[in-house]
Structure 1
């Protein structure tokens, strides 16, 4: 009897799950033989470079959040167990629309990253923990998840969904002031 090994693996929230299957010729009364002892998960490729790991470090807690502007995009990375990156930004007026987005590395990273927006004092405003290739927070949001942010400083955090995630990312911070009404419209009121 000739057996053929087949393997599949998938990374989900920082864990690589694998399934090894040994397919054999059909035996009387049996059409498939499963052998779960065959582990064929490929080793993770480490394409995260030191420059990305060091972007704006030290910034591993709220107190040491690195100041950024809309022109800072990375690349950055979560590189060690429990690594967290914090970035501080300023909202110039309370009528601004603010969007914070991260896009995960397309290759070499292992695991899902999460995004949290904090008030400067540390209270959580929005926590984004979805599966996919990135995370986005917009304030004010149509679903009232995040209301208009008052003028002042805010911090966002990028972290692994689990403590063992290692993944690169780029970021985009957009602060769009609301359109000012035309002076003639103000006079007409």
Structure 2
């Protein structure tokens, strides 16, 4: 975690970091999951491997399925995070752009609602749906950051919301972050 950008929203803050999601020492990390909550590739595969794939799959099977735009929670097992929140973003090509936007924002809101329900103070997100699901990161970044800020303005929890991004997506989010008004 070299560069950390931070925006305070009341008692909470949003952080933007370039790094590895599975190493985050937060209460929960968010998995960019599929509706069946099966082990996948990318972020999902990395989370399953780091948590303990067999245990994680059993826990996911118990709470599956998870419709697009919703989220489910499981223990974090071997991860530094106590929990994994599995959020399903939209496969961009399957929806009209405005509906894809709504479903993406819904996945983030559902994740934050679960964090509050479980009394969690810190959560780390990847850029949901911008990998294999094809959601354009340039479209996602301002939507996601605005949705996170609005959610924190309304609920003031969790106190830390961290976006953990890969080297290729970090600059796009950094630009969107710079455009946000304090």
Normalization by structure 2: what TM-score? Answer: 0.29
Q: Which structure shows the bigger proportion of residues in helix conformation?
A: 2
Higher RCO structure, 1 or 2 (CA under 8 Å, sep 6+): 2
| Larger Cα-atom Rg | 1
